Amino acid sequence: MGRLGALSAATGVSRAFLELDEPDVLEPDLIYFRSRRSASSSTRAAAAGDGLVGIEFYSALARRLTLPRVDVPVLSEVGDPEEAARVLRSAWTLGPGPLPNLVQLAEAHGVRVMGLQGRSADVDAFSLWRDGRPYVFLSRLKTPERSRFDLAHELGHLVLHAHEPYPTAECEKEADAFASELLLPTLTLQSEGLPEVGLDPLIAGKLRWGVSAMAYVSGLRRAGVVGDSSITKMFRDLSARGFRRAEPGSSMPWPRSKVFDAAREILGRSIVEDLAAETGLSPDDINTLTFGQLLAVARPGAPSTPGTEPDEGDRHASGLRLVVGGA
């Protein structure tokens, strides 16, 4: 069997993966983790390892598809996180209302969004810049509403903290403030005014904006729409009905990635096998990284032949197309 074969059998890692050249280390201290304080250094290191694998996988995919160019402004010089969120809404021409599928919105501006192995409930998401490209990894151990906030939070890190040498507790607060303003614009909430009394208007509001009930009420408080006594009652009522840790009765679907759907449609049914052979990842690993979207049966297509991943300056401004034969 040989040493590599024995190691593959013992670890469950494919021999092809073990034979790959060792990539550069991804230092956990340079990653923005959205995690509980209880997350251990080993848990974060394992997540960083998953991130490195994801970067290699996405590079293999980008050699087959031309992806949207990176259009993520660095806003670290903007006065405060809320203003940065308003600047991003303007730069991406998003208007004042609820945002659409946030995964697809981020992808359209060059952010590489992938799934995160559910190794621990202590790490919800993380983000980083690597070789001029922004990456976000999301766990699906929470609800779609809370995962959407996690993605907005990570976008905050990407635009606010691109030049921060090490993440800090203050960075986390800023990313939360950015996410809240991005998803729940203050001026729009103020123009809509005070919701009617009762739980149903709060549920309707959180469904409209695509956020958790608690996040919606927090947005109302931040916008100054509701007074302290009313806010306290809203939080108490929601908590009593189970909204502090979950979203009872939620029908919000998980967002689909346009990139992974395009990979399935353009590259055909052989794409998982092709990517597995090139990267050494198992189909289960690819399933996790692509939110389960690349294991669905697709229409027949020619086997994909990797080209080379273009530099950011050579990318199309939007849209996806096939790259063939080393072009």
Asked if 72 and 126 sit in the same domain, the reply is: yes
Residues 154 and 193 both lie in one domain: no
pLDDT of residue 320: 63
State the CATH number of the domain containing residue 55.
Answer: 1.10.10.2910
Tokens of 290: 């692509």
What's the domain range around 230?
186-240
> How many domains is the chain built from?
2
Global confidence as pTM? 0.84
pLDDT for the residue 117: 78
C-alpha dihedral, 196 to 199 to 202 to 208, nearest 10°:
-110
Flag whether 299 is in a domain: no
- 61: nearest Cα among 127, 21, 102, 112: 112
Residues in the chain: 327
Q: Is residue 236 situated within a structural domain?
A: yes
CA 269 to chain centre: 25
Spatial CA neighbour of 88 closest among 69, 105, 67, 113: 105
Q: Answer yes or no: do 131 and 34 share one domain.
A: yes
Residues 40 and 138 in one domain: yes
What are the mean pLDDT values of the chain's consecutive 10-residue runs (327 residues total)?
53 49 58 61 77 94 94 93 98 98 98 84 85 94 95 97 79 96 98 90 96 97 92 94 93 96 90 91 92 65 53 54 41
Note whether 45 and 119 are within 8 A (CB). no
- Reading phi first (left if > 0) and then psi (alpha if -120 to 50, else beta), residue 97 is in beta
How is residue 168 written in tokens? 């800090």
**At residue 54, what is the residue type?**
G
Q: Are residues 191 and 176 in the same domain?
A: no
Q: Are residues 176 and 192 in the same domain?
A: no
- Helix, strand, or coil here: 157? helix
Q: If 0-12 CB within 10 Å is exposed, 13-18 middle and 19+ buried, where does residue 3 land?
A: exposed
Torsion of CA 194, 198, 203, 208, to 10 degrees: -30
Angle at which helices 81-91 and 144-160 cross, to 10° = 100
The pLDDT score that the predictor gives to residue 97 is 98
Tokens coding 142 = 């929470």
Let me know if residue 326 belongs to a domain.
Answer: no
Written as six digits, the tokens of 189 are 């909430």
Looking at the structure, tell me whether residues 41 and 71 fall in a common domain.
yes
| DSSP symbols for 172-227 | HHHHHHHHHHHHS-HHHHHHH-PPPSSHHHHHHHHHHHTS-HHHHHHHHHHTT-S-
Residue bearing tokens 């302290």: 228
CA distances from 183 to 109, 178, 201, 282 (A): 17, 9, 18, 36
Residues 168 and 28 occupy one common structural domain = yes
Domain match, 134 and 236 both: no
Residue at 298 is within a domain: no
pLDDT of residue 9: 52
pLDDT at position 6, please?
A: 53
Q: Report pLDDT for 10.
A: 47
Query: And the tokens for 219?
Result: 């947005």
Across 271-293, b (16+ Cβ under 10 Å) vs e yields: bbebbbebbbbbeebbbbbbbeb
Closest CA to 151 of 183, 192, 174: 183
For residues 96 and 144, membership in a common domain is answered with yes
Contacts of 93 (CB under 8 A, 6+ apart): none
Tokens 């939080």 -> residue: 235
Q: Is the dihedral of CA 224, 229, 234, 236 positive or negative?
A: positive
* Domain contains 278: no
- 91 phi and psi angles, rounded to 5 deg: -65, -35
